[in-house]
Structure 1
Amino acid sequence: MSVKIVSVAKALPKYTRNTKDIIPYLDLWLSGQESRFRRKIIKIFENAGVDKRYSIMDAEEVFHKTSFEEKNDIYERETVILAESSLKKSLRKSSLEAKDIDFLITVSCTGIMIPSLDAYLINRLDMKQDTVRLPVTEMGCAAGVSGIIYAKNFLKANPGKRAAVVAVESPTATFQLDDFSMVNMVSAAIFGDGAATVILSSCEEDRGPVIVDEAMYHFYHAEQMMGFKLRNTGLQMILDKSVPETIASHFPAIVHPFLEKNQVQIADVDHLIFHPGGKKIVQTVESLFGSLGKNINDTKEVLRLYGNMSSVTVLYVLQRFLERDIKEGDLGLMLSFGPGFSAQRVLLQW
């Protein structure tokens, strides 16, 4: 019995802006800061590798002083809409109905909802009353791959079942208007909003790349590197500048033993499905993979077109591969990093 990824579908918020069109808002927001600082921040936005992004709020709302309550209300309303849209699209792609889903995982870290998103989806789509639910809320950018790992383990233990992993994020809702730190600036420059749903199956009749293996890797004593601090104004980003260097130092231990356990080497991997955390992280990983004769062009393109959507982003990269005519036997490596600090890995075979 094998677990397969059957379909991936994305959903985007209604608001979108090119980065060049955000600069006037940025300039106005920074009007009280020193001119040198303002020029530096504008350069960060222009050189972030993000041409366009989508948002659950229009630019006027983002740069307007709003409370945590107001931002979270928008998050609650809009993420349910995006989640429902992406789940319906993924079901249509796989010719399935909502009642065909046995295990529903919802992933988000950029807002707070109780009951969790999965409860709303079960009601909106009239899913089975015995659907198993799992909200994943505090794993950040790594959580899209984490959700796939949890779904795979459920399906391995339950042949003939199907699971949906629904990831929805709005980093826009965490933007801190009164925070002029470099962390807030860099975060604002690279992040965008979006949603995606992955459907997995342990049913014999379903088709898609097989999950060969999966694993998590934990960096010891690195809790301070990435995450959110809950403040009265909302979720304030924590992002240590040492993240790219830390990833690089652990890279061999993250990649090579995992592949060797499955009797393959990096040279045998045909497709790299890597989470685009930001330009510096992408450049770091690109140089590491490049020295091994591999590229992460799809990762760079997703960052350019959508920005970093936290847990959602790697699923957009995955979708690009599932929409291609990939030959049987090809291997793919999914890789993402997130708070903890941690790395999540999945080995796929078409």
Structure 2
Amino acid sequence: MPAYIHHISTQVPGHTYRQSDIRDRIKSWTRDLRTRRLIHNVYNRSGIETRASVLGDFEPDGASGPALYQTASSADGTTVLPTGTAARNACYSREARTLAVQVARQALNGAEGFSVADVTHIIFASCTGFTNPGPDYHIIRELGLNPGVERYTLGFMGCYAAFPALRMAGQFCEANPRAVVLVVCLELCSLHLQINDQPDSILANSLFADGAAAVVVSSRKPPPEIPAYRLQSFASALVTDGEADMAWDIGNEGFNIVLSSYVPEILGARVRALMEGILQRNGLKIEEIDSWAVHPGGRAILDKVEEALHLPATALRASRQILRDFGNMSSATVLFVLKELLDSADTPAALTCAMAFGPGLTVETAVLERCGCTLPVNRAATPATGETAEATPAPVAVIAVA
């Protein structure tokens, strides 16, 4: 019995910044002129216009006061004081609870025919903090779910984590036709900025943002007029020659990330062969995919994927739009892209090929099918929340990139 994504809700926290303002704020915390120039150029080439954070630290006038990034002034300029991992994680514990409950409530309210009493499983994915009891616990308590709901946490995977979560949800639903699974991906990347002159840190600081998405999955067949995705198959692969180019660990001052500028080149060289092999196992060709949802790990990654797969210039419109409006929110981002494709769909059911790249250059892929109504709707997104109006379904291929 197939499983379906019935509804996707998205949410970002309350502090939304222009990329140029974040750029100038970070530059003001940097003494070295060469580093300032590098920051300016990297931010300007990012393809991002706005990003959200749970922190008010990046406001130009500092009106709300620093939450994590305290500064000290001297004759040489302004310096950011060290921020310990415990303080960053305490902020995660506090803010993740609020954001997770909000986005979960939106998902259940927006999933027609479902109620809190129906939920049998929660799968929570995050790589930017650790707390127990975690956000999944608070979702049950604050939304009034059955306390016997099964809870699972997928941690520290990175940008591809939505796919193992969806695969697990599909397996639960296939095993139990009455299962209703709530999948929540939540990342607070802004808690882990590393203010230094290292190119990897500068690149990461220019991309990552905060956001959350929640999905309702079950094996109930959706009404024909309701947009949905049918889960078909999932596959995993490794690109081991990029193992050292994307990684992170836990340091004394937050998470230390390795994000090499070579990642787009590696992906560009390998992605077509990977996609051809994965699709061939499903009896498909790249040319048979109707639309693409590529996780926007960065502008250069989108460019290389588009070039390698020989996609038309409009194929990654939704991915570029999410990157522009929200930045890279790690595991939550590809769900923003999938929702945008549902909301803007104007064609009948179609295939979706999904792929995500993460640390070690792990590759996670999925084949989905968009189904439901075909009438286009006017999208009414609000940058403050990321939540969009309900819409119609269409064919999609998903690629997520850390």
State yes or no: 1:16 paired with 2:16.
yes
**CA offsets per residue over residues 193-243 of structure 1, 9 Å max, x none?**
101001111124566221121111122365433232211111111213321
Q: Work out whether residues 248 and 359 of structure 2, in 8 Å CA contact, stay in contact via their aligned partners in 1.
A: no
Cα displacement (A) at 1:23: 3.1
Residue 38 of structure 1 is matched in structure 2 by 36
State yes or no: 1:82 paired with 2:99.
yes
For residues 326 and 103 of structure 1, do their structure 2 counterparts lie closer, same or farther at Cα, with a shift above 3 Å needed?
Answer: farther
State yes or no: 1:147 paired with 2:147.
no
Hey, what's the Cα distance between the residues in 2 that align with 1:291 and 1:55? 33
Cα displacement (A) at 1:129: 2.4
Secondary structure in structure 2 of the residue aligned to 1:146: helix
Hey, what's the Cα distance between the residues in 1 that align with 2:335 and 2:290? 18
For residues 252 and 294 of structure 1, do their structure 2 counterparts lie closer, same or farther at Cα, with a shift above 3 Å needed?
Answer: farther
Hey, what's the Cα distance between the residues in 1 that align with 2:278 and 2:142? 40
State yes or no: 1:106 paired with 2:120.
no
Amino acid of the residue matched to residue 116 of structure 1? Answer: G
Q: Work out whether residues 160 and 204 of structure 1, in 8 Å CA contact, stay in contact via their aligned partners in 2.
A: no
**Further displaced range: 162-171 or 213-222:** 213-222
Residue 52 of structure 2 is matched in structure 1 by 54
Hey, what's the Cα distance between the residues in 2 that align with 1:215 and 1:234? 32
| RMSD of aligned residue pairs (Cα, Å) | 1.9
Amino acid of the residue matched to residue 190 of structure 1? Answer: L
Amino acid of the residue matched to residue 331 of structure 2? Answer: S
Residue 25 of structure 2 is matched in structure 1 by 25
Residue 125 of structure 1 is matched in structure 2 by 143
Cα displacement (A) at 1:249: 2.6
More helix by share: 1
The alignment of Structure 1 onto Structure 2 pairs a total of residues equal to: 347
Cα displacement (A) at 1:154: 1.7
Secondary structure in structure 2 of the residue aligned to 1:45: helix
Where in structure 2 are there 5+ consecutive unaligned residues? 71-80, 372-402
State yes or no: 1:240 paired with 2:260.
yes
**CA offsets per residue over residues 225-267 of structure 1, 9 Å max, x none?**
3232211111111213321122123213321122122222111
Hey, what's the Cα distance between the residues in 2 that align with 1:138 and 1:12? 20
State the TM-score, normalizing by the size of structure 2: 0.82
Cα displacement (A) at 1:27: 2.4
Q: Work out whether residues 242 and 263 of structure 2, in 8 Å CA contact, stay in contact via their aligned partners in 1.
A: no
Cα displacement (A) at 1:124: 1.7
**Percent of paired sites with the same residue:** 27
Where in structure 1 are there 5+ consecutive unaligned residues? none
Residue 180 of structure 2 is matched in structure 1 by 162
State the TM-score, normalizing by the size of structure 1: 0.93
Secondary structure in structure 1 of the residue aligned to 2:194: coil
**From 262, 271, 275, the counterpart of 1:255:** 275
Q: Work out whether residues 25 and 63 of structure 1, in 8 Å CA contact, stay in contact via their aligned partners in 2.
A: no
Residue 317 of structure 1 is matched in structure 2 by 337
**From 345, 348, 364, the counterpart of 1:344:** 364
Higher relative contact order (CA 8 A, sep 6+): 1
Hey, what's the Cα distance between the residues in 2 that align with 1:222 and 1:21? 33
Residue 85 of structure 2 is matched in structure 1 by 68
Residue 93 of structure 1 is matched in structure 2 by 110
Hey, what's the Cα distance between the residues in 2 that align with 1:248 and 1:73? 38
Q: Work out whether residues 26 and 42 of structure 1, in 8 Å CA contact, stay in contact via their aligned partners in 2.
A: no
**From 155, 162, 186, the counterpart of 2:203:** 186
Residue 295 of structure 1 is matched in structure 2 by 315
**CA offsets per residue over residues 170-189 of structure 1, 9 Å max, x none?**
11011123x32111101111
Amino acid of the residue matched to residue 316 of structure 2? Answer: I
